[in-house]
Structure 1
Amino acid sequence: MDIRPFAAIHPRPDLMAQVAALPYDVVSPQEARDAVAAHPKSFLAIDLPAETGFPADKDPYAPEVYQRAQELFSAAVGSGDYVQDAEPHYYIYQLEDGERSQRGLVCVVGVADYLEGRVKRHENTRVVKENDRIAHIEAVGAQTGPVFLAYDDEREDGSLEELLDAASAGEPWADFVDDEGVRNRLWRVDDPWMLGQLSTAAGALECAYIADGHHRGASAVKVAQRHAGDPDAADDADAFMAVLFPASELSILAYNRVVADRAGLTPAQLLAAVEDAGYTLEPRVEAASPSRQGNFTLYTDGHWYELSPTPELVARRGALGAADSLDVARLQAEILAPILSIGDPREDPRIEFVGGIRGLGALEDAAAEKGVAIACWPTSVEQLMAVADAGELMPPKSTWFEPKLRSGLVFHKI
């Protein structure tokens, strides 16, 4: 693979804690406004300018929204809050959240790796979301959100992990705990020998998988293609920024579903329809996640139930492909579509997706009196890679990674 260091733009290390923010696509408008109110230098002011700098009814895709992002970014560079590296570097980025810890290589990846399939995808992208990020990158002159990549470290020889160990053995270049309680540490790699060794080891990888950030990746690649041959473009404008993690270190939580109503069914009729679909129901005294893969828990009308597929249902399914065998795919095919009339979960306004980090109480609150909440078993990293290796696509909202990579730490100039 074509993995390279790059001359990043970044906040001064002493400002990292004030600037670092959750990704733009996992916060609500109110959460973004609250974050900027608490931390005026928060990168969400630049990442979500419509939500944080205009009235609530502002069109988020209006030209003046991107103009504001450009003004704020330029002001941060002009004031010295953001600085440009003089030479290319790698950064080692480690996140620690309780028992979860992951460490990866901040780099740029050649666009050819993406176009030729060495960067493997498992999700479709939507044009409107791509166009939003394209306009944002063009406005600020930089890719500001990294693509979250994973490589199958069990398939590799371990040399890259050994180098990550060595490169992060000293004191970190930046070290802070963010508002969510996640410890973020960055080491900047300056040594020419280590830069070369990291490039060699990462370049020897057979492939990498997009874990999160399909829209960021697709948008950055299209911007790179647009600027191909531009004499004023940055030296590495033919690449996109990513953080490359060993797959074994990643943690995926459930991505749960809430439907606003019971599609005209009474609670008793809903439960009967689920049983007719081939599931046994076991009442739960309190909120509960599924006890094993293949099961779901369902909340409606103030009560929880665990759903288990019967042997007859499993036999009817027959042999399934990598994507169709996912629990979220079975949920869509066997319950959400035929019983709750959710034909296209990407477009139906009746369905809401709730990350497992928010807990089961959030499902109860979202379902309220008339809705239905369904908790899923988490998709595994191995399943994600199997889907991508098969050239298949996952259903929307199949994975919720924790901890989330923070935006606002390093930027890739185009």
Structure 2
Amino acid sequence: MPTIIPFRAVRPTRDKVGLVASRSYETYSKKGRKFRMDRNPYSFLHIVNPGYKYHKEITGKKAFKLVRNRYQEFKEEGVFLKEEQPSFYIYKIIDRKGQEFCGLIGGASVFDYENNLIKKHEDTLEDREELFKEYLDTVGFNAEAVLLTYPDNADVASIIQETTQERAEYEFTTTYRDTHYVWPLSNPKSIATIQEAFKQMPQLYIADGHHRSSSSYLLAKDHQQNDPDYHKEATYNYFMSFFIPESHVRIHEFNRLIKDLNGLSKEEFLIALDTEFRIENRGVAAYTPSKKHHFSMYLDGEFYSLYLRKSNYNFKNTLEALDPQILYKTILEPILGISDLRNDARITYAGGKKDMIYVKSAVDKGEYAVGFGMLPLTMEELKQIADDGYTMPPKSTYIEPKLRSGITIYEF
């Protein structure tokens, strides 16, 4: 049932792709961005940080037209080219540990998003949706793909396998020691086979990119209402997505760091926890939970294991059984007084490679009073939450792979 389309990507020339490609803008520190931009005139960061040219920080709506200008300059200077014919783009990453992630980049339909053929598991913020919608409308392109998962499919896998035997159009390694490969796929027969395979799937799931997909949907609705030349096949009725089989997705946990104990002493806090958890002091050795509904905690120089008491295993739905929700409902909200997980400045989330050793370091520095860890969620949990119409607490999943920006660009 889902519809996916090939498109004519704007992309870097082969010789410059490794220079253009960047991580997402927000993943860099201010100092890190400047360091890279000072030394690399081709970095995509120059497009999304246009104030650099004027030695001035420019953000928000004022920056949108300047982003468009920088983008046009890259095209005029021949850094980018436009694909001659509509293509899918097979994208493979082999990370430093030898893990392989491989899928294809194409366009996903806003109508599938509207009709819940593309399923969500996360809430979006209205003001952020509107801001990014205006950004897309002003700059006229999207350079970061939404990550959509699909059930492993033999026909799609066969085409990917066959295509990746050829020389890649792009092959470059990042300073993270991840190697990226891209193959354009424009063969009409292969494209038709892939599209037919996706039409046979019941639905797709958003793994990462809820705001990007919702903003793209809002932009399409605006055009539908205001554009006299509106038609269903217009490019703004699709959004660039990285379609990846479920077996290639890696889900990591987000650990929680809390600035204070909400006025409680250490002893009072531990006694409060005892109502819901069986607590064991693990000493100074780093501890990571081994089962669902078990949590690790670092407090005052020591690790603790927290086992949810089995008398509390009376979950009424799939959301209540999620570990991030359990942590919220048993500790963060009732004991530590954190009810707004998105906006409360007392809580910080540590995802990806920021494990319990990172949590320990942050607490030992005095930046936080306590840290919590849990096991990562599974793909089955993510899908079930989406199927049941629930939304997870914010920062419940840190999902890989992470594509580089500026490698394939979707124009409206």
- Give the TM-score normalised by structure 1: 0.91
Aligned to 1:216: 212
Matched, 1:159 2:160: no
What does 1:290-305 align with in structure 2 at a 5 Å threshold? 290-305=289-304
Structure 1, gaps ≥5 residues long: none
Q: How big is the alpha-carbon RMSD for the aligned residues of Structure 1 and Structure 2?
A: 2.2
Higher mean alpha-carbon deviation, 185-194 vs 282-291, is at 282-291
2:37 paired with 1:39: no
- Tell me: CA distance 1:54–1:378, structure 2 relative to 1, closer, same or farther (3 Å): farther
- Contact residue 5 and residue 90 of structure 1 kept, 8 A: yes
Q: Which residue of 2 aligns with 1:94?
A: 92
CA contact (8 A) 2:258 2:347 kept: yes
Say if 1:13 and 1:142 are closer, same or farther in 2 by CA, change over 3 A: same
Counterparts of 1:108-257 in structure 2, within 5 Å, are 108-153=107-152, 158-228=154-224, 229=227, 231=229, 235-257=234-256
Q: After TM superposition, give the deviation of residue 230 of structure 1 in Å.
A: 5.5
How far apart are 1:321 and its partner, in Å?
1.5
- For these two proteins, the number of residue pairs brought into alignment is 405
1:10 corresponds to which residue? Answer: 11
- The reply on whether 1:406 has 2:407 as its aligned counterpart is no
1:20 counterpart = 2:16: no
Task: State how far apart, in whole Å, the 2-side matches of 1:326 and 1:21 are.
Answer: 34
1:366 to 362, 367, 390: 362
Q: Is the 8 A contact 1:281 1:305 kept in 2?
A: yes
1:334 to 310, 324, 330: 330
Deviations 1:121-163 (A, max 9, x none): 011111222233223212221122111000122xxx5222222
Deviation at residue 348 of structure 1 after TM alignment: 0.4
> 1:250: Cα distance to partner?
0.7
Counterpart contact for 2:281–2:302, Cα < 8 Å: no
1:384 alignment counterpart? 382
Instruction: Tell me the secondary structure at the aligned position of residue 299 of structure 1.
Output: strand
Identity score, percent: 28
SS at match of 1:237: helix
CA distance in 2, matches of 1:327, 1:26: 26
Partner SS state of residue 353, structure 2: helix
Q: Aligned with 1:408: secondary structure?
A: coil
User: In structure 2, which of residues 68, 79, 82 is the aligned counterpart of residue 81 of structure 1?
Assistant: 79
Cα–Cα, structure 1 residues 25 and 383, in superposed 2: closer, same or farther, change >3 Å? farther
Partner amino acid, structure 2, of 1:301: D
Give the drift of 1:25.
4.4
Q: Check whether the contact 1:278–1:312 (CA below 8 A) recurs between aligned residues.
A: no
CA distance in 2, matches of 1:9, 1:203: 26
Q: 1:214 to 1:30 in 2, by over 3 A?
A: farther
CA distance in 2, matches of 1:408, 1:33: 18
**What secondary structure sits across from 2:405 in the alignment?**
coil
Question: Deviation per CA, 1:75-115, whole angstroms, max 9, x where unpaired?
Answer: 11111111111211110011111232111111001211111
Pair 1:348 & 2:349 matched: no
Amino acid at match of 1:371: A
CA contact 1:279–1:313 (8 Å) conserved in 2: no
Report 1:58-73 matches (<5 A): 60-61=59-60, 63-73=61-71
1:54–1:152 Cα change, 3 Å: farther
> Which piece of structure 1 moves more, 175-184 or 250-259?
175-184
Decide whether aligned partners of structure 1 residues 288 and 356 sit closer, same or farther in structure 2, where only a CA change above 3 A counts. farther
Tell me if structure 1 keeps the 8 A contact 2:155–2:193.
Answer: no
- Could you tell me whether the CA contact under 8 Å between 2:251 and 2:378 is conserved in 1? yes
Deviation at 1:52, TM superposition (A): 9.1
Contact 2:279 2:304 in 1 (8 A): no
Q: Distance in 2 between matches of 1:401 and 1:160?
A: 22
